[in-house]
């Protein structure tokens, strides 16, 4: 049973990034829905489905003792009454290092449950570099 009731998807997201920076497993798992359909994809990693697999991945990440400072940017939000999708960039720095890591493109998905908002998906991928100049006008391709 979850102890925290998050009033909004934005509250869950804030708690997620605070838990990530503190490497706090209990706080991290508090934001996730107690559901076997939750999904987490870390940058360059496999698709992890199910609460236990997601928990194990965060356990391994936090065991590395590497502490991260996270700054988010470029957030776009799509929200309905029962769901929210946040697309953003994470700018990560390892505490003690002076150089930031390349940005990460992230999609976080939240649902409204009987016990407040919870995360059901976190998908993080390396963000492609920003081109030095605008690409030449050409056909637009949608996938």
The chain-wide mean pLDDT, for the chain, equals 88
- Percent of the chain residues past pLDDT 90, beyond the cut: 67
**pLDDT-derived band at 5, boundaries 50, 70, 90:** very high
pLDDT (mean) for 38-55: 96
Rounded Cα gap, residues 78 and 60, in angstroms: 31
Domain regions of the chain by residue span: 9-126
pLDDT of residue 120: 98
Average pLDDT on 3-31 reads 96
- Cα–Cα distance for residue pair 124/37, rounded to 1 Å: 17
- Say whether pLDDT at 142 is over 50: no
Average pLDDT of 10-37? 96
The pLDDT of residue 49: 97
The rounded distance, in Å, linking the Cα atoms of 119 and 6 is: 10
| Per-residue model confidence as pLDDT tens digits over 63-89 | 988 888 889 999 999 999 999 999 999
Q: Residue 139: phi, psi to the nearest 5?
A: -65, 145
Element (H, E) at 13: helix 9-22
In this predicted structure, the answer to whether residue 138 has a pLDDT above a threshold of 90 is: no
Q: How confident is the model at residue 133 (pLDDT cuts 50, 70, 90)?
A: very low
3-state secondary structure of 29: helix
Are 110 and 83 in contact, with CB atoms under 8 Å apart? yes
Q: Name residues whose C-beta falls within 8 Å of residue 48's C-beta, 6 or more positions apart in sequence.
A: 39, 40, 41, 42, 54, 56, 57
Among candidate residues 24, 25, 56, the one with its CA nearest the CA of residue 40: 56
Q: Which one of 3.10.450.50, 2.60.34.10, 3.10.510.20, 1.10.260.40 gives the CATH number of domain 9-126? A: 3.10.450.50
């Amino acid at each position: 049973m979850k102890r925290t009731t998050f009033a909004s998807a934005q509250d869950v997201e804030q708690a997620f990034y605070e838990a990530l920076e503190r490497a706090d497993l209990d706080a991290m798992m508090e934001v996730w829905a107690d559901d076997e359909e939750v999904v987490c994809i870390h940058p360059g990693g496999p698709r992890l489905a199910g609460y236990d697999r997601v928990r194990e991945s965060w356990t391994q990440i936090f065991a590395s003792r590497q502490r991260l400072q996270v700054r988010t940017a470029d957030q776009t939000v799509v929200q309905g009454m029962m769901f929210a999708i946040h697309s953003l960039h994470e700018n990560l720095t390892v505490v003690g290092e002076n150089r930031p890591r390349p940005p990460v493109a992230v999609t976080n998905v939240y649902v409204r449950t009987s016990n407040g908002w919870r995360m059901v998906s976190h998908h993080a991928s390396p963000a492609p570099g920003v081109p030095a100049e605008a690409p030449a006008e050409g056909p637009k391709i949608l996938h």
